[in-house]
Chain A
Amino acid sequence: NAGVTQTPKFQVLKTGQSMTLQCAQDMNHEYMSWYRQDPGMGLRLIHYSVGAGITDQGEVPNGYNVSRSTTEDFPLRLLSAAPSQTSVYFCASSYLLGAGNTIYFGEGSWLTVV
């Protein structure tokens, strides 16, 4: 049971490049989400998904795309990287919390855009 796995852990991009941050979970969770954490701040929701084929925008979606073709995977795509997207990115997954379940976070992906 690997939990939530994010790759890559570290990445440096040049302005204008595109890339995909991968997130995979092996717990059959319906809910998955992406957050970013800027220096000295809390996490902010980028996009989320309530099941395969269903995604929606969070608080800061501009510049990012997501898709959810399988229950296990929820990749985050940066279309044209900008220095303002330098951040630490976290993926999270869970079942419905009403049953006392827990939200699982990945270990984070450090992205620097130069």
Chain B
Amino acid sequence: AQTVTQSQPEMSVQEAETVTLSCTYDTSENNYYLFWYKQPPSRQMILVIRQEAYKQQNATENRFSVNFQKAAKSFSLKISDSQLGDTAMYFCAFMKGYNAGNMLTFGGGTRLMVKP
């Protein structure tokens, strides 16, 4: 079974600064996906970024980027130029296999507050 650990229950950052959220996972699989999801107070699940394990290049989406360290089983999320709208819960998630559906294993989440 896979496990996903987010060691930072809460974090805060000043608007326009950079913050990094940590995620580690444990698996014996070689092929898998990793995701970061944002969950605002509305509880909507919003995909922030995803990474295929076979890709060495770290994924980026505008202000969001990841540091994927496969050997260390680490998958951190960096948010640059933080905005008030980034305030939310952030979940790291794992899914084994490349030709798979949507069976995700989630971490416990990090609550991020962006301060003006």
Contact = CB atoms under 8 A, between A and B. Distances in A.
A63 to B, nearest CB: 19
Contacts, number: 70
State the majority secondary structure of interface residues on B: loop
B109 A41 contact: yes
State the majority secondary structure of interface residues on A: strand
B108 A41 contact: yes
Nearest to A49: B101
A27 to B, nearest CB: 12
Interface stretch (B13-21, B41-49, B60-68): B41-49
A88 B43 contact: yes
Interface residues of A, number: 29
A96 B97 CA distance: 10
Interface residues of B, number: 22
B101 A96 contact: yes
A103 B33 CA distance: 12
A93 B98 contact: no
Contacts of B47: 102-103
A97 B104 contact: no
Nearest to A44: B106
Interface string A66-106: 00000000000000000000001010111011100011010
A94 B102 contact: yes
A35 B100 CA distance: 17
Contacts of B33: 97
Interface of B: 4, 33, 42-45, 47, 91, 93, 95, 98-109
28 contacts: A30-B101, A31-B100, A31-B102, A32-B101, A33-B102, A35-B104, A41-B108, A42-B4, A42-B93, A42-B108, A42-B109, A43-B45, A43-B91, A43-B106, A48-B101, A50-B101, A88-B43, A90-B45, A92-B45, A97-B98, A97-B100, A97-B101, A98-B100, A103-B47, A103-B102, A107-B42, A107-B44, A108-B44
